Structure 1
Amino acid sequence: MAVHEQHPSASISYFITGKSYGIDEAFSPDDETIDVVWKGKVTEFRSTLRLVKSIDLSSNMLNGEVPTEISSLVGLVSLNLSRNNLMGQIPLRIGNLANLDSLDLSNNHLSGSIPQSLGLIYGISVLNVSNNNLSGKIPKGTQLQSFNASAYIGNPELCGDPLPNICPGEEPIHRSPPRLSEKEEDGASNREETNTIFGGEFYASMVIGYAVGFLGVVGTILFNRSCRSAYFKVLQDVANWAYVVAAIHKAKFVRRIGG
């Protein structure tokens, strides 16, 4: 039989009436009881706890550790122990609660790492372990990375996806480019200078050539009367030809519409 100390706040205890079992030992669920100590009074809850579907003890100033035996409630669908003063670690066998859909352990003083087994509860859709003292890496390769970072915030020593905190030893490695030898550096410098020189000369020659050609054509037209007359005659002939073509097409279009 478990012994309880009188305390103004509450705690959760779990035991098997009249018997003592190790963690790995089997027991009859008909003998299970839960005692809740509240303001110095012990209240016993006796039932077939294996059939319990939901437990909500949030905001009750509960203290002590989360009983490891709670992982024996394999039919549990929802567990809410948030906003209490619970401490210690999350039970390592929390993954035994295979039917768990919602788990809220937020706003307590839980410490240690998140058990790897928690990632084995594939059907869990609501998780909140924020505002505790959890540390270490969030188990990777499980659906635990699918939850929003808000499910884990308030645990300064917790790291890994989906938190922005990078775990020690996983910092990205920034590799500097390989250093060239003195000979290679000289060769690269010479090639760069050559490219710069020839590149500049190429563009300068293009500009000069364009300017000379333009001035040559314009100067010939302006200062040579015969060339100027021939140039304007060509322009006049082109304009006349364009006018005649436009007039012919217009006449055909009008006849087609009128006919």
Structure 2
Amino acid sequence: MPFLRIAIGQPQETYQPDALKAALAEFFGTLIFVFAGEGSGMAFSKLTDDGSTTPAGLIAEALGHGLGLFVAVSGACNISGGHINPAVTFGAFVGGNITLLRGILYWIAQLLGSAVACLLLKFCTHGMTTSAFAISSGVTVWNAFVLEIVMTFGLVYTVYATAIDPRKGNVGIIAPLAIGLIVAANILAGGAFDGASMNPAMSFGPALVSWDWTNHWVYWAGPLIGGGIAGLVYETVFIHHTHEPLPGSEF
């Protein structure tokens, strides 16, 4: 059972060279992802006079986020596992694939990476607003909450199937692409309703820099619950640990 494999970890794990390198990879990966994703929305808004809320704007943001995440995961997967998302890290933790202390180290790196990316965007665009994620009119906070759970479940389930599952074989080669595509697809599906975050770090940076925390809890609670459920479901139903556990460097 996944709960039996959950581990707190040792304090010294947080300052070992490999853990610090992994955290640094998460920092840069998240910075790259948020800069590309948030920046695509800002660029489209500037080019079309706030047209980021149009269908074309939604497609542009889906491409920006999907391609940015593909590159970010590809760059970090051999060092940290390429989480680039606190919900993915949490899903890996509840499935017993990362220790709590290492997960906290990843969270800190991811949140810092997002904040720095948004600060850079604000500077490079001469003060343009890094818009915080917001719920659309006609959509309740509970609609958005469930939507974030469902979309993040799909994301973390994809991560497990293509990157964590020890039987992934050659499928692991396309893991970064599959992860980027599911995020792009979910943005097309849910972006018009609540922005389709699926990633607390992605929501944190824009909210911090713009200092807009309206309904911010939705973009933490929804993804963490969805990611946790995906980790439990995949580990319990599809992974049978009849072999040695994965090395720490894997995920």
Superposition TM-score, scaled by structure 1 size: 0.19
Superposition TM-score, scaled by structure 2 size: 0.19
Q: Which has the higher helix share?
A: 2
RCO comparison, higher one (Cα < 8 Å, 6+): 2
